[in-house]
Structure 1
Amino acid sequence: MKRIHFTSILAVVLLLSFSLHAQENLSFGQNKEIISPEIHTDNSVTFRLMAPTANDVSVTGDFLAPGEEAKMTKDADGVWSYTTHPLPSELYTYVFNVDGLQMNDPNNVYYRRDVASTLNVLLVGGGQADLYKVNSVPHGTITKRWYQSPGNNMARRITIYTPPRYEENNSSYPVLYLLHGMGGDEEAWMTLGRASQIADNLIAEGKTKPMIIVMPNGNVAQEAAPGESSLGFYKPEFRLPHTMDGKYEETFGEIIRFVDSQYRTIPEKEGRAIAGLSMGGFHTLHISRYYPDTFDYMGLFSAAIMPNETVKSKVYENIDKTLAAQNSNGYALYWIAIGKEDFLYQANIDFRKKLDEMDFPYIYRESEGGHTWRNWRIYLSEFLPMLFNKK
């Protein structure tokens, strides 16, 4: 008679239990498979939600006009649905509204955090958004590093992209410092901006030189993104202490020194670029003139321009004088991009007027739309090919 070991029986029981539990999770709350979102061949999208007892369900997202909601209709099985018109190729975010309560799509496991909100995402290909896909091309490496910041009296986390095959050679690479906006952190350009996918795809197409991309946390009051620091899990805030008060610009040299010491960089002006969106554009403007002979390429994406009048910092003294010094030292590219509907549009017009009066050369890119990630992803995809091509 064969002996059956207790440990073998226990393993089988645990395996069956896990399998049943997993299957319960897959079908929880619904009697049939629901596909949502479903992207059709004409690039229209159908959203679906099982909510048989709900009275009013709608979907809202950046495929609609700002503030607009699309009413969904309920079928006999209690499934609400809405189908869009064919959509342009883009990475979209959306949420449902069920009887006044905002909720994510339970059938879509793909979502992104933006400050304190989580939004589902979907990607419609066949155009611009093909750059945002993970395609069958050589891929760079993403690392989350910690560096010591004596100026902020803490260790801080930073995201760094190294290009394909960086680990396989001894070459030195130029560096782009890519800065996020207010409410963002060192994860924003990766999750919302698709920076690594854009870089991988443009490098594979031969349109962009291989480069290191450094994405710091622009909130000097933070060690790292929410949930990634010693503070644990807390609700993220939009505006933090020391926001745009000069402290980040003062201590930015620590980041450059860390990167140059840890990576095979080209540690000269010709090998450095800096760009950012909104608050990151503000930081780009002021870091590049505060260190006027450090960067050869600057990109201001929907940038905030001038500091608040109540802010007192040596960083914001003699702005015109330091801009003049930056101009005198020379640079390869100063690129300004903004949407026509952006709330910072007039501030950028005023800044360009200042530059014109100073004979400060720049390239201006005006787009449709406003203060959105849709624009910033496009700006990045246009900015990268212009970098490090100085003859």
Structure 2
Amino acid sequence: MKIGCIAIVCFLLLGSLVSGCSNEEQAETTNAANAAIISEPTNAPAEGTSPNVQKVSFYSEALSKDMRFNIYLPIGYQSENKYPVLYLIHGYGSNETMWLSGLGLDKTADTLQNEGKIKPLIIVTPQIDNSYGFNSTSAGNYSDYLVKDLIQYVDSHYSTDATRESRYIGGLSMGGWAALYNAFTHPELFSKVGGHSPGLWVDDWTNTGDLKNWIYPSDEIRAQRDPILLAETQDLLGISVYLDCGDQDSYKFYLGTEALYKKLQSQNVKSEYHRSPGGHDDIYWRTHASEYLLFYAGK
């Protein structure tokens, strides 16, 4: 089964999400809570992963409900040390288990650390449902959940280097869009961002139902959300961007990824783009997992 693919049938279900979306959406979410309610995490070992991976549940004030994430602690983790943190976001139709138990990124990180190729780092893989990671009156304040609640919670409960320079975010497919959007709108929080087969739609919205009207209900909202357009208006000179996509990507996301890369290059933003053999599936992402980690934490 392809993990994290943005199944067309799932897109058709988005009609129930778009009702109530309006141009005032951004203003309505500006006053969302600035911090998570700090409580002790509900921890348990995550199945199918290394012993140093746990699944955690905590209360998100921005969403007014419990949310889940999996967390990988590096080999030799000690509370007296401070570690950089990588937030990795799953694809549409998947969940917080995708990157670690699904793609085995924990084992890849263990191997690279043992080989001395990456610095020890914490990896957090949060649940974002099918939200695309932005604030929405219909789906919820998922951006606030990510950049406020989740970051504060992780920094409060784990031994993190809570500086911008040591905080990274990435994702695949829908999660790639979410990572780019949140990094570009909050460049003060992240020093690196990765879009892995990111769901960057250009012109072809065939068979996506009401997806376009939900994500980009107006030209004004699109200018505030579309990573390709944000690359022109945001100050991104202090951030490093990694983009990649399979040359057989079934959604042709290489078109949007290439367009974003050209915009970043025109703005002199430090960026790289890799178009490699492969499709929009777990085989492609697993094949390139080492390259992703070397970008985020390579020595």
Separation in 1, partners of 2:83, 2:168: 12
Higher helix content, 1 or 2: 2
- Using the alignment, how far apart are the partners of 2:294 and 2:154 within structure 1? 22
Show the counterpart of 1:354: 263
Equivalent in 294, 304, 316 of residue 199 of structure 2:
304
**Distance in 2, Cα, partners of 1:296 & 1:140:** 29
Q: CA contact under 8 A between 1:209 and 1:387: conserved in structure 2? A: no
SS of 1:303's equivalent?
Answer: coil
Query: Which amino acid is 1:254 matched to?
Result: D
Q: SS at the partner of 1:287?
A: helix
- C-alpha distance in 2, partners of 1:171/1:140? 20
Instruction: Determine whether 1:387 maps to 2:296.
Output: yes
Task: For 2:280 and 2:63, locate their aligned partners in 1 and report how far apart those are by CA, in whole Å.
Answer: 30
TM-superposed CA distance for 1:148, in Å, is 1.1
Aligned pairs for 1:285-324 (under 5 A) are: 285-305=180-200, 308-311=212-215, 312=217, 317-318=223-224, 320=229, 324=233
Q: Name the counterpart of 2:23.
A: none
Equivalent in the alignment of 2:243: 336
Q: For 1:216-227, what aligned pairs fall within 5 Å after superposition?
A: 216-219=126-129
Q: Which amino acid is the alignment partner of residue 248 of structure 1?
A: Y
CA distance in 2, matches of 1:303, 1:321: 15
Unaligned runs of 5+ residues in structure 1 are: 1-92, 95-111, 117-133, 220-239
Identity of aligned residues (%): 30
Q: Does 1:191 align with 2:191?
A: no
Q: Give the AA of the match of 2:184.
A: R
Q: Which residue of 2 aligns with 1:149?
A: 60
Q: Which residue among 151, 168, 172 is the counterpart of 1:256? A: 151
Larger radius of gyration: 1
Cα pair distance change 1:368/1:275, threshold 3 Å: same
Q: Which runs of 4+ in 1 moved over 3 A?
A: 112-116, 242-247, 309-326
Q: Which residue of 1 aligns with 2:27?
A: none
**For 1:153 and 1:141, how far apart are their aligned partners in 2?**
29
Count of paired positions = 237
Give the number of the structure whose residues are more often strand, by fraction: 1
Alignment TM-score, normalising by the size of structure 2: 0.70
- Mark the CA change 1:250 to 1:305 in structure 2 (over 3 Å): closer, same or farther: farther
- CA offsets per residue over residues 185-239 of structure 1, 9 Å max, x none? 01111222101111111111111111000000011xxxxxxxxxxxxxxxxxxxx
1:178 to 85, 88, 99: 88
Structure 2: gaps (5+ residues)? 8-47, 136-140, 202-210
8 Å CA contact 1:180–1:277 kept in 2: the answer is: yes
- 2:113 is matched with 203
> Are the equivalent residues in 1 in contact too, given 2:117–2:298 (CA < 8 A)?
no
**Conserved? CA contact 1:140–1:164, under 8 Å:** no
For residues 256-300 of structure 1, the C-alpha deviation after alignment (integer angstroms, 9 at most, x for no partner) is 010000011011111111111000100111010111111111111
1:311-336 residue CA offsets vs partner (Å, 9 max, x unmatched): 359985435457643423x12x2100
Residue of structure 2 equivalent to 1:377: 286
Matches of 2:132 and 2:4, distance apart in 1: 20
| CA distance in structure 1 between the partners assigned to 2:221 and 2:80 by the alignment | 37
Alpha-carbon separation, structure 1, partners of 2:66 and 2:276: 38
Quick one: distance in 1 between partners of 2:224 and 2:114?
43
| Higher RCO structure, 1 or 2 (CA under 8 Å, sep 6+) | 2
The answer on whether the counterparts of 1:272 and 1:294 sit within 8 Å (CA) in structure 2 is: yes
Preserved CA contact (<8 Å) 1:292 1:322: no
Q: State the alpha-carbon separation in 2 of the partners of residues 280 and 303 from structure 1.
A: 7
Distance 2:176 2:80 in 1: 32
CA RMSD of aligned residues (A): 3.0
Quote the Cα distance in structure 2 between the aligned partners of 1:244 and 1:207: 31
Q: Which residue of 1 aligns with 2:163?
A: 268
Distance 2:144 2:222 in 1: 10
- Measured after TM superposition, the shift of residue 166 of structure 1 is 1.0
Q: What amino acid is aligned across from residue 248 of structure 2 in structure 1?
A: E
| Equivalent-residue separation in structure 2 for 1:175 and 1:113 (angstroms) | 22
Deviation readout 1:160-190 (Å, 9 max, x if unpaired): 01011214x5101000001110011011112
